[in-house]
Chains A and B, each alone.
Chain A
Amino acid sequence: MSLYELLGTLETGFVFGLVALGAYLTFRILDFPDLTVEGSFPLGAAVCAALIVTLGWNPWLATGAGAVAGFAAGWSTAYLNVRFRILHILAGILLAISLYSINLRIMSGPNKPLLGVDTVFDAFGGFGVATYIISPIFLGAVTLIVLALVNVFLHTGHGIAMRAAGANPAMAEANGINVGRMKLYGVGLANAMTALAGALFAQIFGAADAYMGIGVIIVGLASVIVGTSLLPSRTILQATLACIVGAVLYRFAVALALNADFLGLRASDVQLVTAALVALALIAQYSGSGFKRFFKGADKK
């Protein structure tokens, strides 16, 4: 693996770290398996690209707008679940499917190239360092900032209310917490992070694409599972860090698998490798006090 490849993998790893944080918020904190991300990841990309290219927006504002669009998507999924009692998974699928069409509309086509326009990465051009070195550092910083914000939030009054709403809804309600509203904001927030990741991803690769959301849910989940099964995750800080490490490790695993010509793998096998990795992590977690104890010491649970 060359340095260029290494930094590129780190770059995508950090971007998917944001997706992993979102997955942690929905799956682990809110106990709300959310499939909206398959649509909100390309939504963030599409909104951002369309605003930059078609309307000539500032790339930072456009990226922020992408995140806001993601929040709206997540909020809508949670609304279908909370208000109309549609099963959370189904609500997510409905949103993801409808977002596919919405994204085509936003981009007026299946993709939107970002060639020859300024992106957030161009802001660092003046430092005299090559983009491929600057951008992983920038993305790492973005991911860590989001991680810090998530950590602080989950320790505020509303944050612990959200944690209780996911962990013990009956108790949360008895303590005056509007559990439905917590889901609306929590799932919204998670999708805002995912859409932010999508917007950044599009700017790295120079295009937004209607198909770029395929498998995002698996990547997010895999990162959470790989991270929290390898690293201690007893506190929120540990768990969120584990998610980001998981995302980076996961990208490396995929990159290695794809570079492994001796295994006879091709680029088109990426989804299969992805799914197999997640299955392996899950199996390890299930069968695996031995596997876990090896990394986590005598830590139980």
Chain B
Amino acid sequence: MIELKDVHVTFNKGTPLETKALRGIDLIVPEGQFLTVIGSNGAGKSTSLNVLAGLAPVESGTVRLDGQDITNWPVHRRARIISRVFQDPKMGTCEDLTIMENFALAHGRTAPRGFRLAIEKDMREKTAERVKVLGLGLENRLDDKVGLLSGGQRQAVSLLMATTGPSSVLLLDEHTAALDPKTADFVLETTRTIVDRLKLTAVMVTHSMAQALSTGERTVMFHRGKIIFDASGKERAGMSVEDLLHLFKKTQGEELSDDSLLLG
């Protein structure tokens, strides 16, 4: 279970560039819930994901995970319980390492790394089985460097890597935004399957309202560093992108200026 309590984040504090990225976020994501997060540019959705991952320093407030206060934990320590798929396919995998080595690396996120050879036969077979499910033929290319794969393939590999080993939380940071529509659908579908099968607590940030409503079971909208809307269950099930826009206008009393939210 994720608990954010009155989280404030300010960038460049005390300078003319001071930006209040988050202004008092309270959010509880129960175990096993798939939450989608939406908002315009600069709304604070990515910042809140970074707060969870440990990349954005929290000015005040607390971040708790499964009851543990992790507010001051460094990124690598949180990584044992939180895994992440980045927006940029190049970020989630290490291109100088082979596919197999990347998986060995991901395996070390939750298991001790040690001074034995990282890749064992057993692990190779398991990995081949896992990537076979993707249907991309990667099981025959385990010793290829990841740099040789396409963006979509890399993103699919990132997703599998992030779900290697026992984790409780999966963070998805607009992980389909840099892909072409067909590949994006494929990666999204794979995401749904995996999250469902492993019963993960997942937080997905997206730019597309349609995607936000069709994926997961709860949607929150950020605006100017605050959560302005939180829907789940029946309320969300009967909702369309138009409804969401209408609601947005009503709460804010202003036109939505970011066209990219309308598209997709």
Contact = CB atoms under 8 A, between A and B. Distances in A.
Given A173-B76, A175-B79, A179-B76, A167 B95 contact: yes
B207 to A, nearest CB: 21
B118 A163 contact: no
Interface stretch (A16-24, A152-160, A211-219, A290-298): A152-160
B94 interface: yes
B121 to A, nearest CB: 14
B76 A168 contact: no
A157 B83 contact: no
A161 B96 contact: no
Interface in A127-179: 152-153, 155-161, 163-164, 167-168, 170-179
A288 B152 CA distance: 32
B94 A164 contact: yes
Contacts of A179: 76
A163 B113 CA distance: 13
Nearest to B115: A156
B94 A172 contact: yes
A161 B115 CA distance: 11
Contacts of B118: 155-157, 159-160
Contact of A171 (B91, B104, B117): B91
B209 interface: no
B106 interface: yes
Interface string B97-131: 10001001110111011111111000000000000
B80 interface: yes
B114 A174 contact: no
A177 B104 CA distance: 12
B93 interface: yes
B231 interface: no
A158 B114 CA distance: 6
Interface of A: 152-153, 155-161, 163-164, 167-168, 170-179
The 4 A-B residue pairs with the shortest CB-CB distance in the complex, in nearest-first order = A157-B113, A176-B79, A176-B109, A173-B75
Interface of B: 53, 74-77, 79-80, 83-84, 86, 91-97, 101, 104-106, 108-110, 112-119, 161
24 contacts: A156-B113, A156-B114, A156-B115, A157-B113, A157-B114, A157-B115, A158-B114, A160-B101, A167-B94, A167-B95, A167-B96, A168-B93, A170-B86, A171-B86, A171-B93, A172-B94, A172-B105, A173-B75, A174-B53, A175-B79, A175-B108, A176-B79, A176-B108, A176-B109
